[in-house]
Amino acid sequence: MATVGIVMGSDSDLPVMKKACEILDKFGISYEVTIISAHRMPDVFFDYAKTAEEKGMKVIIAGAGGAAHLPGMTAAIFNLPVIGVPIHTSTLSGVDSLYSIVQMPSGIPVATVAINGAANAGILAAKILAVSDKELEQKLIDYKNDLKESVMVKKNKIENVGYSEYLREKESK
């Protein structure tokens, strides 16, 4: 049984949305992935959002570009948290998607991450689930410490070798 649903409007969104999958894999969180167009298959979409909680989902991550109705409509139907991922578009660089997701009417919130921010959507889903899961909370603490350590390594290196050598070494890799 999946704890997180990952839904997107098109398979062209998958290269972005896979980052949420990778994060959930890292934390050992079960999920399912599907493609559902809210505009082209509203009956299938409605059934997905209406039955997600019955199937054990606690959070849905919904990615969409353009008009980006998928996250908001999911939030209108699904009673638990929805995280919207605005997908970059060629015409308006994803700003249209961002506005469509973030400007929800009062009473129908969608947590929204940055354009193409599916990794952060995965982390946010993990944080939501960690409220009632101490083991997951510890994994998030460890993850945060790993992030800090990776930056500390870079900080120490640039301070020791200088910015030009640091860049030279980085570009040669």
Q: What is the CATH number of the domain that holds 64?
A: 3.40.50.1970
Q: How far is CA 105 from CA 23, 75, 96, 102, 148, in A?
A: 29, 11, 16, 9, 37
The pLDDT > 70 percentage for the chain reads 100
Same domain? For 162 and 93 the reply is: no
Sign of CA dihedral 158, 163, 165, 167: positive
Residue 1 has pLDDT above 90, yes or no: no
pLDDT of residue 104: 94
pLDDT of residue 53: 97
Same domain? For 145 and 128 the reply is: no
Confidence of residue 173 (pLDDT cuts 50, 70, 90): confident
Q: How far apart are CA 56 and CA 41, in angstroms?
A: 23
Closest CA to 5 of 121, 151, 169, 150: 121
CB 115 within 8 Å of CB 87: yes
Same domain? For 122 and 48 the reply is: yes
- Rounded-to-10 torsion of CA 9, 12, 13, 16: 170
pTM, two decimal places: 0.94
Average pLDDT over residues 34-47: 95
Same domain? For 117 and 144 the reply is: no
Tens digit of pLDDT for each residue in 90-149?
989 999 999 999 999 999 999 999 999 999 999 999 999 999 999 999 999 999 999 999
Same domain? For 80 and 151 the reply is: no
The count of structural domains within the chain is 2
pLDDT of residue 67: 87
CB 88 within 8 Å of CB 65: yes
Same domain? For 45 and 117 the reply is: yes
Same domain? For 109 and 148 the reply is: no
Closest CA to 70 of 59, 58, 79, 82: 82
CB 82 within 8 Å of CB 60: yes
Same domain? For 108 and 159 the reply is: no
Domain that residue 146 falls in: 136-171
Q: What is the mean pLDDT of the chain?
A: 96
